[in-house]
């Protein structure tokens, strides 16, 4: 198969192996042709995994989970001098252009030098080969 | 090589519909480590294996064997995957009840996926980034967070539920705008696109994409470009190429 080129380094896309059990359960377990008249053997032995994949969005448990995540986030921000610059930059950014700010921040962190303030050029040079060559700051 | 249905003694497990004269991959085993065979009927065929009644069927290994076989076959020839766990009581029924009555639909379905593979693109919000974004915009949420800080869940359960609800709503409100450019851009490099149900509040979108082999490289580059553009606010995950599980006809 010639399609999957591994772009591990420098890629922003997580590309797991297609055969991991969690992916298979999530992506294909209920898919495919269904021939109604016939017995469908169901998956045994990984109940936890399948239940986990079907959590209802609007539930008290979900709310508590996100409240806790928000709570933790707050604590991290207070004592979090070790957070990357881009994170604090984002938090301080206020409501205007947060997204842009975050992207720029990361670009700065990941891309030394030349193309950090020009989106147009960045788009025309998608391979970003420059990064490899000049790893110095 | 197709076997005669009368050679089968018991139940038969079904993997997928393929064009007639497709060879079963010799190097791959099926469910319960059984050999995979082909049952043909005129222009279509189905990949099958015998079920061993003395072994459990439906284990995680069986699910992996099912998908690994279909993904491998899909690299060589069009295939319409059957739902995992499809078993018929006797081989004769495969031809009489399954292949024969829907032959036309299967042939059309196979033509539709010929030369294509499925990719699944999952986009989620980076939780910390977006929760931070929401909290800076919602004084009410910031206030609740202050009340909760340093308390136990029992002490502030109502406030926690309220805060969580606000955050979940904030994520929901941001979801359509985050999903739209992903759909728009992927539509340009795919033959078909199906949206999966969202499971979590921080899910942006999950799409199954039917991608022509000659467009695969372009498709992967678009996914990469999107991921770079929306980093760090969104995280992208790409699975594939796989058999076209989401692009089968209804029969």
Domain coordinates in residue numbering, chain B = 5-114, 117-242
The answer to whether residues A31 and A23 touch, using CB atoms and an 8 Å cutoff, is: no
Question: Residue B86 gets which letter from DSSP?
Answer: B
The token pair that represents B65 in the structure block: 């064997």
Domain coordinates in residue numbering, chain A = 18-54
Secondary structure of B33-66 in HEC code, one letter for each residue: HCCCEEEEECCEEEEEEECCCCCCCCCHHHHHHH
Q: What is the mean pLDDT of residues A119-128?
A: 37
The answer to whether residues B79 and B70 touch, using CB atoms and an 8 Å cutoff, is: yes
Residue B86, chain A, CB below 8 Å: the answer is: yes
State the helix-helix crossing angle for B157-187 and A60-79, rounded to 10 degrees: 90
Contacts 24+ apart (CB under 8 A), A99-108: A99/B230, A99/B233, A102/B129, A102/B231, A102/B232, A102/B233, A103/B229, A103/B230, A103/B231, A103/B232, A103/B233, A106/B231, A106/B232
CB contact under 8 A, A24 and B63: yes
- Output the pTM of the full model: 0.77
pLDDT of residue B1: 57
Check whether A101 has a pLDDT greater than 50. no
> Where does B117-242 sit in CATH, by number?
3.30.70
Check whether A90 has a pLDDT greater than 90. no
CA of A67: which chain B residue's CA is closest? B164
β-strands B116-125, B44-50: how paired? unpaired
CB contact under 8 A, B67 and A19: yes
A-B contacts at Cβ under 8 angstroms: 234
Question: Residue B97 gets which letter from DSSP?
Answer: I
- CA B138 vs CA B42, B141, B142, B161, B242: distances in Å: 64, 5, 6, 16, 42
Average pLDDT across each block of 10 residues of chain B; the chain has 251 residues. List them in order: 74 95 90 94 94 91 94 95 92 89 95 97 96 94 93 94 96 97 98 92 96 97 97 95 95 80
**Higher pLDDT pick, A132 / A41:** A41
Instruction: Give me the residues paired with residue B38 across strands.
Output: B2, B47
The answer to whether residues B106 and A33 touch, using CB atoms and an 8 Å cutoff, is: no
The overall average pLDDT reported for chain A is 56
pLDDT of residue A18: 60
State the helix-helix crossing angle for A60-79 and B139-148, rounded to 10 degrees: 80
Q: Looking at beta carbons, which residues of chain A come within 8 Å of B225?
A: 123, 126
What distance in Å separates the CA atoms of residue A8 and residue A5, rounded to the nearest whole number? 9
Rounded (5°) CA angle A88-A89-A92:
85
B52: region left, alpha or beta (phi > 0 left; psi from -120 to 50 alpha): beta
pLDDT of residue A9: 55
Give the gap in angstroms from C-alpha A64 to the nearest C-alpha of chain B: 6
Give the gap in angstroms from C-alpha A84 to the nearest C-alpha of chain B: 12
The token pair that represents B168 in the structure block: 């979940």
Q: Looking at beta carbons, which residues of chain A come within 8 Å of B16?
A: 32-33
pLDDT of residue B92: 87
The token pair that represents A14 in the structure block: 């997580």
pLDDT of residue A102: 32
The token pair that represents A113 in the structure block: 């030098």
Name the 3-class secondary structure at B32: helix
pLDDT band at A46 (very low <50, low <70, confident <90, very high): low
pLDDT of residue A122: 37
**Matching residue, tokens 């990949």:** B47
CB contact under 8 A, B251 and A33: yes
CB contact under 8 A, A29 and B84: yes
């Amino acid at each position: 198969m010639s399609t999957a080129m591994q772009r591990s380094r420098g890629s922003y896309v997580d590309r797991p192996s297609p055969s991991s059990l969690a992916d298979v359960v999530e992506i294909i377990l209920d898919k495919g042709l269904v021939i109604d008249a016939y017995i469908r053997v169901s998956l045994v032995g990984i109940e936890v995994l399948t239940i986990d994949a079907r959590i209802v969005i609007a539930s008290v448990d979900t709310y508590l989970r996100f409240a806790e995540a928000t709570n933790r986030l707050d604590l991290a921000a207070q004592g979090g001098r070790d957070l990357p610059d881009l994170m604090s930059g984002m938090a301080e950014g206020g409501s205007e252009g947060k997204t842009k700010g975050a992207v720029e921040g990361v670009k700065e962190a990941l891309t030394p030098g030349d193309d950090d303030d020009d989106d147009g050029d960045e788009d025309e040079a998608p391979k970003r080969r420059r990064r490899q060559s000049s790893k110095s700051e | 090589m197709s076997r005669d249905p009368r050679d089968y003694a018991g139940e038969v497990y079904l993997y997928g519909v393929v064009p007639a004269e497709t060879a079963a991959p010799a190097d791959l085993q099926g469910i319960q480590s059984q050999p995979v065979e082909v049952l043909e009927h005129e222009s279509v065929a189905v990949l099958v294996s015998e079920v061993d009644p003395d072994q459990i069927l439906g284990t995680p290994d069986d699910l992996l064997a099912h998908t690994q076989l279909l993904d491998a076959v899909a690299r060589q020839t069009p295939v319409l995957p059957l739902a995992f766990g499809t078993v018929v009581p006797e081989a004769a029924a495969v031809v009489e009840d399954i292949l024969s009555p829907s032959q036309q639909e299967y042939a059309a379905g196979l033509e539709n996926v010929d030369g294509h593979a499925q990719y699944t693109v999952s986009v989620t919000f980076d939780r910390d980034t977006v929760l931070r974004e929401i909290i800076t915009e919602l004084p009410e949420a910031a206030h609740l967070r202050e009340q909760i800080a340093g308390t136990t869940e029992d002490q502030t359960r109502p406030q926690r539920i309220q805060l969580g609800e606000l955050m979940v709503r904030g994520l929901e409100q941001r979801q359509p705008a985050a999903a739209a450019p992903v759909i728009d851009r992927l539509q340009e490099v795919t033959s078909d696109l199906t949206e999966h149900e969202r499971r979590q509040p921080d899910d942006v979108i999950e799409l199954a994409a039917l991608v022509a082999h000659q467009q695969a490289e372009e498709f992967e580059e678009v996914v990469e470009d999107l991921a770079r553009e929306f980093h760090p606010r969104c995280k992208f995950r790409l699975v594939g190429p796989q058999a076209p599980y989401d692009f089968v006809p209804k029969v």
